[in-house]
Amino acid sequence: MTDMAWNRKHLLDIESLTADEIVTVLDTARAFKAVGERAIKKVPALRGKTVVNLFVEPSTRTRISFELAEQRLSADIINFTAEASSLKKGETLKDTARNLEALNADFIVMRHSASGAAHFLSRVLNAHVVNAGDGAHEHPTQALLDAFTIRERKGKIAGLNVTILGDILYSRVARSDIWALTKLGARVTLCGPSTLVPKTFEQMGCRVVHNMDEAICDADIINLLRIQHERQRKTMFPSINEYTQLFGLNKARLAKTKPDALIMHPGPVNRGVEIDSDIADSSRSLILEQVTNGLAVRMAVLFLVNGGKGPQELTGN
């Protein structure tokens, strides 16, 4: 087959993907979403393959989503968390990963607090590496599931106004979303306190504004990010209360948006901080659809990288 726009062995970031490759993931995910709606939700695509979920940084929802995606593809799974591992005893990441590969792991799905950790692993291992979030760098599967959700609900991505609100500076989700959505032709606006949304992000092709009403008035999609206390070394804004006053999505602000504007949030939601509790549960909220779609997108990613041999195959190595 030459009509397939995917030859990558790993999924490390969105930045290096082409628009065609992103669309291939979204199209493939549509078929996998249908699998999740059947009575028998499992297919044998990764039968006999071993996947290691190497979560050096704590995560619940992403890990569970990957784990279920792997089970539905019939893979064998090893879960490896930082708390209960030799990393605590001083083993390096490279040694840990090599040990896992010595057990014939075919895939490593990694979450790590250091930016570039997934790229590093992909260079030292033969296994397929899927980045499940590296520091403040990228969280590619989140961006793919966000793009999938937007395309499914709006029928397209090109030409839409997408506003991302909140802690952009420390957010790998924001970076991956910006790459994915701008590559697919959306106009992305970033908004939040100037300490968390510096003007430098304009270099990524986005609009940066610091007034919430201005940011959301013409938005088709409002993507709210959580304030990540754990990534802030010093306080970047005076108080949570002030943040909510200035940047929280409440009913009064929502009333001033387009009537068909939809709300997204990668979770976990801080109700009453970045979003009013009623809005999070309203029919305009896509939060739970994002979770469902995340499963389909992760199945699609594992399915695609399984067949990808990477550039070394092309050069005849």
Partner 1 sequence: MPESTVILDALAIQRALARIAHEIAERNEVGAEVVLIGIPVGGDHLALRLSKLLSEIWRQPVPVGILDVSMHRDDLDQRAAPKVYPTVIPFDVTGKTVVLVDDVLFSGRTTRAAMDALNDFGRPKKIQLAVLVDRGHRELPIKADFVGKNVPTAREEKISLCLTESGADRDEVVLLKK
Residue ranges binding partner 1 (CB under 8 A): 1, 3-4, 6-7, 27-28, 30-32, 34-35, 38-40, 42-46, 49, 300, 303-304, 306-309
* CB-CB contact of 273 with 224 (8 Å): no
- Our CB check for partner 1 shows the closer of 2 and 200 to be 2
CB of 276 to partner 1, least distance (A): 37
Euclidean distance between CA atoms 197 and 218, whole angstroms: 19
Euclidean distance between CA atoms 208 and 199, whole angstroms: 6
Starting from the edge strand earliest in sequence, which strands make up the sheet with 221-224, in order? 207-209, 187-191, 161-165, 221-224, 262-264
CB of 7 to partner 1, least distance (A): 6
Euclidean distance between CA atoms 134 and 110, whole angstroms: 8
- Our CB check for partner 1 shows the closer of 254 and 300 to be 300
Q: Give the Å distances, CA to CA, from 69 to 60, 62, 72, 272, 291.
A: 14, 10, 5, 31, 12
CB of 176 to partner 1, least distance (A): 21
- Our CB check for partner 1 shows the closer of 23 and 217 to be 23
CB of 11 to partner 1, least distance (A): 12
Euclidean distance between CA atoms 109 and 132, whole angstroms: 6
- Our CB check for partner 1 shows the closer of 37 and 260 to be 37
Euclidean distance between CA atoms 224 and 286, whole angstroms: 11
CB of 105 to partner 1, least distance (A): 14
Q: Which residue has the tokens 């959505």?
A: 181
Name the nearest CA neighbour of 54 among 70, 38, 40, 41.
70
CB of 309 to partner 1, least distance (A): 7
Task: Say what the alpha-carbon torsion angle 224, 79, 298, 47 is, to the nearest 10 degrees.
Answer: -170
- Our CB check for partner 1 shows the closer of 128 and 137 to be 128
- Our CB check for partner 1 shows the closer of 4 and 229 to be 4
Q: Is 296 strand, coil or helix?
A: helix
- Our CB check for partner 1 shows the closer of 42 and 199 to be 42
CB of 73 to partner 1, least distance (A): 8
